Structure formats: C-alpha cells, structure tokens
A = this chain, B = another copy of it.
C-alpha cells in the first residue's frame, strides 16, 4: 500500500515532480530531456497504474486518494496528500480533477516486436499537434488498433496534454518511433506481412470500404491535418485509400479521419 504523507507547504521538495506543470515538458535533468509521464484525474491515474511506466509518486486531495485506495493496495510509492490550494500553488494552476501521478518513461519497444501479433496498426507522419495525437490514441484504443508507429515530425505522445486528451489511452496503446531513413523505414511493415495503406483525400484513391482491407493485416499511414502525407510517403505505400467526402468540404480532423479508417478496416 502506498504510504500517505501530508504536505502543507507548496514548496516542499518532495513534490518537485509536480512543480509548474505548464512548463514541465522540458526536463533537462531527465534522460532525453523529456518530461516525466503525468496523469491527471482518477481515470487516467488508474491507466497509469496499469501501464508499463514506473510510478514515482501521487499527489492528491484526500477525497481523490480515497477513491483510489483499492488501486493503490499493491503500490509501493509515496502518495502525497494536500489540499486543493497547496496543490494549485505547486502545480501552477487549479486542478479540478484533484489527483496527479507521475511516472518515469520506459524504453520504447522495437517496432518489429510491436508488429508481432498485431493486425491493424497506425503509422503517423508529421502529426505534430498534441491534442490531435491524444485524440487519435483514444480512437485507436476504442477501435481496436494494436499499435501506433511514429514516423518523422510527430509529437511526443507522452506530453502531458496528449495524455490528458487521450484519456490515458497513450498509456495503453503500445507505440514506438519508426527510425531510420523515411519512407524506407516502412519496409519493416511489409517485412512483417502488413499492407501499407496511405489515407489521402485524392480522388483517384480507392474508397477505404472497397479496398479489401477488412480482416487483413494493415498499416494505415496517416499524415497531419492540412498538409497531409508527403509525396514520398504516398509513393512508398502499397495502396492509397480515401474516405468518400462531399465536394467542397475541407478534410476531416486527422483524429476523426483516423477513427473512420480504423472502423472501416476493423474485423467484422
């Protein structure tokens, strides 16, 4: 059981991990200079407890820590109890969810390892908006996507805002960077039996529902809202698919387009 320790002083060094959270995404003292993994609210904290990320501590108001007491039964890290004012002063803003947890990052898995046993994966190029990335992970989790691979120019899924918008699902859906030359790095997908289907609004692409992808091993290649996929990425795909759209309408939001595509290739 986590030991509960009361903290009255917002400057208490034991809660330094929670200090100035709006500026917490750069941590030059941590490996890679990236921030810790931060979960906000009971639901997301539970997902962090179930994740592979090594928990460091929790900080919450008494009511929220009590709500988590069963979840914390087997957990051996400090839990700091504070009132809402002390928390807000340390964190830098009022937290209406009343509880936070922090964890260390974990080594990122190898893409080939994630692909073993997977049927549908998403491969992202240039998805650099933290909220869109978080929503995309939420949709991936809901619609049974087995893994997400991050090509060039993607944001960090473990950025605090992505974790929150994803409702903690970035902690659940396995992901890995796809390193090496781009788009040559896509070969790992073909080598593992996946067809790489690039999503594009281009009229000559096949409507995704008619592309014969249901039940197949498929890697959906998705670009950012606005610019979309680069010509190089489009050319490297095995096929190009589109979501049929009304004329004169701009594209869908990337996380929404991803959801439509995930559903369209899901097992029946």
Contacts and interface: CB of A to CB of B under 8 A. Distances in A.
Interface stretch (A18-26, A174-182, A189-197, A248-256): A248-256
Nearest to A249: B142
Of the candidates A141, A255, A256, A259, the one having the most CB atoms from chain B within 10 angstroms of its own CB is: A256
A167 B259 contact: no
Interface in A217-264: 243-246, 249-253, 255-256, 259-260, 263-264
Interface residues of A, number: 30
B252 A142 contact: yes
Given A141-B246, A245-B142, A259 B252 contact: yes
A144 interface: yes
Contact of A264 (B143, B255, B263): B263
Interface string A134-147: 01001101111000
5 contacts: A143-B252, A144-B245, A144-B246, A263-B263, A263-B264
A246 B251 CA distance: 26
> Considering the complex of A and B, which 6 residue pairs feature the smallest CB-CB distances, nearest first?
A142-B249, A260-B263, A144-B246, A256-B259, A142-B245, A141-B249
Interface in A117-166: 135, 138-139, 141-144
A64 B246 CA distance: 27
Contacts of A255: 256
Interface in A75-90: none
Contact of A142 (B141, B143, B246): B246
A246 B253 CA distance: 22
A49 interface: no
A210 interface: yes
Given A142-B246, A256-B256, 20 more contacts: A43-B250, A135-B253, A141-B246, A141-B249, A142-B251, A143-B244, A143-B245, A143-B246, A143-B260, A144-B245, A167-B250, A169-B249, A207-B268, A243-B263, A244-B266, A252-B259, A255-B256, A256-B259, A259-B259, A260-B260
A171 B199 CA distance: 28
A209 interface: yes
Contacts of A139: 252, 256
A222 B88 CA distance: 37
